[in-house]
């Protein structure tokens, strides 16, 4: 599977990214923990999507594979040297000591599958069964573990329970509360925070993403919530227009509302719209949670409860639609109608 299938327009694949901003404390912790020789065999790197978890994981993997003896390893994580053998192997996906597990691409449709499957986890079993020719560490990056289906999660758990010698897991999660408790209990948590505005701007500058000052910059910073991937979706995928269209759906009445719903549904169900569709679902979830929170704070608990149920119903509609490959436009129209209720 090509890692580029998961990379947004304008971004750099984490395996090749030499820039990382805003996570100096996490970098220092990983370097010290590894150098002590007492580091945990499984680290759960958690935090919102798009803040640098995968980049940090690949940087740490590069550090470990470049310095296989913890006692002689540096006390800090340096940016990967693109000219080093280890870095070139990792960047090209040719490292025999590093396995990156992510959602595979469906060979029939060319689309990324909705989950990391048991077949992918079997690759990890085969990977660990191989004798490392260098006696080096063998590292598996699960990106993210949230995407493991039930069978795949149970298979990973079995490996975590009895890890091979000199094996390391870097488990990424956007929502660790959704992982199996038994997986979480076998990992050392490392929480990353959303990027501060200055770090987010530095990240976009490193990607050579132009962002106008003034209102445009303010809007991107406010709506991206410290996430580079959210900023890229706003700037390169029309995310801001999606938010505007959704607000129109919520405020319009009668025929105007139906027209607005169909216009938005057409955009979200168009060919190659998976990125903006995912962006919309995240925005919708945030919108409903904020409405529920505000109504609960105002004392209107029945409405807050109803909004929570609506969020659950929408999640169920999405899951059913994806499981049975239902017509996306009709699913979106149904979701929009529910969100207006």
E-strand stretches of 8-153: 42-46, 98-101, 138-142
Task: Scan for tokens 């979106």, then name that residue.
Answer: 332
Fold (topology level) of 3-191: Rossmann fold (3.40.50)
**What 3-state class would DSSP assign to 44?**
strand
Q: Any residues with CB less than 8 A from the CB of 283 and at least 6 apart, and which?
A: 239, 242, 243, 246
3-class state of residue 203 by DSSP = helix
Interval 142-168: pLDDT, tens:
999 999 999 999 999 999 999 988 999
What length is written for the chain? 341
Average pLDDT over residues 287-292: 93
Q: How confident is the model at residue 28 (pLDDT cuts 50, 70, 90)?
A: very high
∠ CA 276-280-282 to the nearest 5 degrees?
115
User: Using 50, 70 and 90 to split pLDDT, how confident is the model at 324?
Assistant: confident
Q: Answer for the pair 51, 228: CB distance below 8 angstroms, yes or no.
A: yes
Residue 199, pLDDT above cutoff 60: yes
State the average pLDDT over residues 249-262: 96
Residue 63's Cβ-count burial label (10 Å; 0-12, 13-18, 19+) is buried
Contacts of 331 (CB under 8 A, 6+ apart): 317, 318, 321
Give residue 133's pLDDT. 55
Domain map (residue ranges) of the chain:
3-191, 237-340
- pLDDT tier at 4, thresholds 50, 70, 90: low
DSSP 153-191: HHHHHHHHHSPPTTEEEEEEES-GGGS-HHHHHTSEEEE
Categorize the per-residue pLDDT at 212 as very low, low, confident or very high, splitting at 50, 70 and 90: confident
Task: Please give the mean pLDDT across all residues of the chain.
Answer: 93
What mean pLDDT do residues 265-291 have? 93
Tell me what the mean pLDDT of segment 16-37 comes to.
97
pLDDT score of 1 more than 90: no
pLDDT-based confidence at residue 95 (cuts at 50, 70, 90): very high
What average pLDDT does this structure show over 199-226?
Answer: 90
Q: What is the pLDDT of residues 51-89, one digit of tens each?
A: 999 999 999 999 999 999 999 999 999 999 999 999 999
Could you give the percent of the chain with pLDDT greater than 70? 97
Average pLDDT over residues 277-282: 93
Report the distance separating Cα 252 and Cα 28, nearest Å: 51
Residues 6+ apart with CB under 8 A from 293: 304
- Three-class secondary structure of residue 29 per DSSP: helix
The answer, yes or no, to whether residue 2 has pLDDT greater than 50, is no
DSSP three-state, residue 38: coil
pLDDT for the residue numbered 91: 96
Name the nearest CA neighbour of 317 among 340, 337, 297. Answer: 337
* Sequence-ordered list of residues with C-beta below 8 angstroms from that of 73, at least 6 positions apart, any chain: 31, 34, 35, 63, 64, 67
Of 304 and 323, the structure prediction assigns the larger pLDDT to 304
């Amino acid at each position: 599977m090509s890692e580029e299938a998961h990379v947004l327009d304008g971004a750099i694949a984490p395996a090749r990214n030499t820039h990382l901003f805003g996570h100096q404390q996490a970098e220092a912790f990983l370097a010290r923990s590894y150098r002590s020789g007492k580091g945990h065999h499984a680290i759960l790197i958690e935090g919102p999507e798009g803040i640098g978890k995968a980049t940090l994981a690949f940087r740490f993997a590069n550090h470990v594979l470049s310095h296989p003896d913890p006692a002689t390893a540096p006390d800090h994580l340096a940016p990967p040297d693109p000219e080093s053998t280890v870095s070139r192997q990792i960047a090209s996906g040719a490292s025999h000591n590093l396995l990156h597990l992510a959602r595979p691409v469906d060979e029939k449709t060319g689309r990324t599958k909705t989950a990391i499957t048991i077949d992918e986890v079997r690759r990890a079993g085969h990977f660990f069964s191989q004798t490392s020719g260098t006696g080096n560490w063998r590292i598996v990056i699960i990106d993210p573990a949230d995407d493991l289906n039930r069978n795949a999660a149970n298979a990973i758990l079995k490996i975590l329970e009895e890890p091979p010698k000199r094996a390391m897991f870097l488990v990424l999660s956007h929502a660790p509360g959704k992982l199996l408790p038994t997986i979480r209990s076998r990992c050392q948590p490392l929480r990353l925070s959303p990027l501060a505005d200055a770090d987010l701007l530095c990240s976009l500058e490193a990607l050579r993403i132009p962002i106008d000052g003034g209102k445009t910059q303010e809007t991107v910073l406010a709506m991206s919530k410290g996430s580079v991937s959210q900023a890229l979706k706003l700037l390169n995928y029309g995310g801001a227009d999606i938010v505007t269209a959704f607000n129109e759906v919520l405020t319009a009445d009668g025929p105007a509302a139906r027209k607005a719903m169909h216009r938005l549904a057409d955009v979200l169900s168009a060919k190659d719209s998976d990125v903006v569709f995912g962006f919309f679902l995240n925005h919708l979830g945030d919108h409903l949670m904020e409405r529920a929170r505000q109504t609960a704070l105002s004392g209107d608990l029945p409405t807050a409860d109803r909004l929570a149920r609506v969020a659950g119903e929408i999640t169920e509609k999405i899951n059913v639609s994806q499981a049975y490959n239902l017509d996306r436009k009709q699913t979106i129209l149904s979701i929009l109608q529910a969100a207006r209720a």
